[in-house]
Structure 1
Amino acid sequence: MTFPDITQDLRAAAPELRGRLLANAEMAPLTWFRVGGPAQALFTPADEADLAYLLAHLPREIPLTVVGLCSNLIVRDGGIPGLVIRLGGKAFGEIAIEDGDRLRSGTAVPDVKVARAAADASLDGLAFYRGIPGCIGGALRMNAGAHGGETTDVLVEARGVTRAGEIVTLSHADMGFAYRSSGASTQGIIFTSALFQGRPGDKAQIQAEMDRVTAAREAAQPIKERTGGSTFKNPEGGKAWQLIDAAGCRGLRIGGAQVSEMHCNFLINTGGATAADVEGLGEEVRRRVKENSGYDLHWEIKRIGVAA
């Protein structure tokens, strides 16, 4: 599918734009599933000010979508209409250790790099990020967590830009964290940086904990496959993978998409899968789990765009 080119109109509305703006940019190579159609317009801002400038001049009728590492994402085969913003580069990729055992990170930084930087600085409390396949922007949006820790445990504040182009700072309370989500007050904000609170620790012990997390992931998750991380949230009173396994879905396939044999809360692209294959498989898993156990599984992976 090819969308009408809106990049010239966007440049006309914001003539001092400094970032990279592409029409009908392929999204599949950016996603961990390697599926999906194009972005009608894909913008990578030069820095926070450039992002705020574009948003202040962006026509309200143009849909806006924000993506990060695309690790926990399905882009549908028809692509994403409107403007897609993807943060990257030095402006959003820096990490700094600050006074008071704190760490500040750009939101394009992969979670694992935050864990490593904290360990190098002997800051305890952030090692759980070693087990999360995404970036800090996604961690803020989803209250990402693993191995006994989650974002709400360590976040002090987050900085971002509103749809109107206003730069704002949100406290921990403003974030409205819940299980794998943040609150309504964060909607429409594109996060640009975050401040985390660590605690003094022993570097060797922190590294040992990160090694434990790494070993656990490698032993239990299909991290070398084309996958998107945990597919469904754990329902209250149950574990998603156990419910999926009990419904007979381990190894289930639709087209080129398969429920992982290693960990059945992971979907994988075995080669040649479409986004419709992956999403359709997930919906079939949900149907079978509901029929077998009565549980409603809710997607943890985000699904965006339009069908082909």
Structure 2
Amino acid sequence: MNAIATGAFVLPPLKGRVEAQADLGALTWFRVGGPAEYLVKPADARDLAQFLAALPEDVALTVVGAASNLIIRDGGIAGVVIRLARGFSAVTVEADGIVCGAAALDATVAEHAAAAGLAGLEFLSGIPGSIGGAVAMNAGAYGSDIKACLDWVEIVTRQGEELRLSAEDLHLSYRHSQLPPGGVVTRARLRAMPGDQTLIAARMAEIRDSRTKTQPVRARTGGSTFANPPGQKAWELIDAAGCRGLVRGGAQVSELHCNFLLNTGGATAADLEGLGEEVRRRVMEATGVSLAWEIKRIGQNLPRVAVVA
């Protein structure tokens, strides 16, 4: 477990894995984006804490989860990108809840709860992504959200301190949580209650069927693009502005659900983000409503190349 020398700085020792110039686009659901200068996969929470405690403060740090609701720009990400993997995916069933690692997929946690006859977490079966990301953005769908079921969350701070915070400490609101700056979610406990397994299974089947019929689940997409404005639905505003099916390069607004952007095969991150901004512009012009991005966009754009006639 030796320190790793790089061109600009020295990475602290790590039991996990480090990859230089790692292809991040392959990790995202959109399948676009540039490389990470260094992609770091810690072995466990202690490994992560020791690494962050020794990482120089001036080294840029970015955390990515399942990358289901994320656009990584074409120029990639400088510094260190943290991605939690196998050592953070454990799921433990308790009498009245689930304790799960941040890398556990939302749907996997819902399935464990259903198998144990625990109700209240069925909504997770309809959310693409992992528990860490779900906590960080207070993910929600199908009538519930993380705020409704979170007991506590364990994090590692940017300074390498391991903390357990209550749900109240996060001040959860619509698609937002107040995690400490640079904090990395490592584990969480979600409340549940004993329920009828048949009813739980039926609800999850209903959610899966609804997603299949109303969302482009088999496409290269990233989940809901824009948050719903208070009292309104983003997709209705987008549709009213005439953006259903709108195309930019290899990116398209879904015909099935127009709050989803698609990579139709050859899109760049710039195509997707540019299309989203065009949708925002048209919705503002048509309705006076400013849509807020729900998909996160991170990293650097590629420099524009001047064309000389």
Aligned-partner residue type, residue 95 of structure 1: V
Q: Which residue of 92, 98, 123 maps to 2:94?
A: 98
**What's the TM-score once normalised by structure 2's chain length?**
0.95
Residue 236 of structure 1 deviates from its aligned partner by 1.0
Q: Distance in 2 between matches of 1:209 and 1:293?
A: 35
Aligned-partner residue type, residue 300 of structure 2: V
Aligned-partner residue type, residue 179 of structure 1: Y
Correspondence 1:66 to 2:60: no
CA contact (8 A) 2:21 2:37 kept: yes
Provide the residue aligned with 2:162 in structure 1.
Answer: 167
**What's the TM-score once normalised by structure 1's chain length?**
0.95
Provide the residue aligned with 2:296 in structure 1.
Answer: 302
CA RMSD of aligned residues (A): 1.3
Residue 186 of structure 1 deviates from its aligned partner by 3.2
CA contact (8 A) 2:4 2:12 kept: no
Residue 266 of structure 1 deviates from its aligned partner by 0.1
Residues 85-126 of structure 1 show CA distances to partners (whole Å, capped at 9, x for unaligned) of 00001x201100124x11100010110001000000100000
Q: Distance in 1 between matches of 2:12 and 2:117?
A: 44
Correspondence 1:178 to 2:161: no
Give % identity.
55
Q: Distance in 1 between matches of 2:129 and 2:123?
A: 12
SS in 2 for 1:71: coil
Unaligned regions of 5+ residues in structure 1, if any? 1-5
Provide the residue aligned with 1:150 in structure 2.
Answer: 145
Residue 11 of structure 1 deviates from its aligned partner by 9.0
1:13-28 matches, within 5 Å, as 14-15=12-13, 17-28=14-25
Q: How many residue pairs get matched?
A: 299
Residue 7 of structure 1 deviates from its aligned partner by 5.1
CA contact (8 A) 2:247 2:253 kept: yes
Relative distance call for 1:19 and 1:232 in structure 2 (3 A) is same
1:214-233 matches, within 5 Å, as 214-233=208-227
Aligned-partner residue type, residue 110 of structure 2: A
Correspondence 1:83 to 2:61: no
Aligned-partner residue type, residue 148 of structure 1: G
Q: Distance in 2 between matches of 1:242 and 1:7?
A: 51
Unaligned regions of 5+ residues in structure 2, if any? 303-309
Relative distance call for 1:11 and 1:50 in structure 2 (3 A) is farther
SS in 1 for 2:5: helix
Provide the residue aligned with 1:51 in structure 2.
Answer: 48
CA contact (8 A) 2:157 2:180 kept: no
Residue 149 of structure 1 deviates from its aligned partner by 0.7
Aligned-partner residue type, residue 200 of structure 1: P
SS in 2 for 1:186: coil
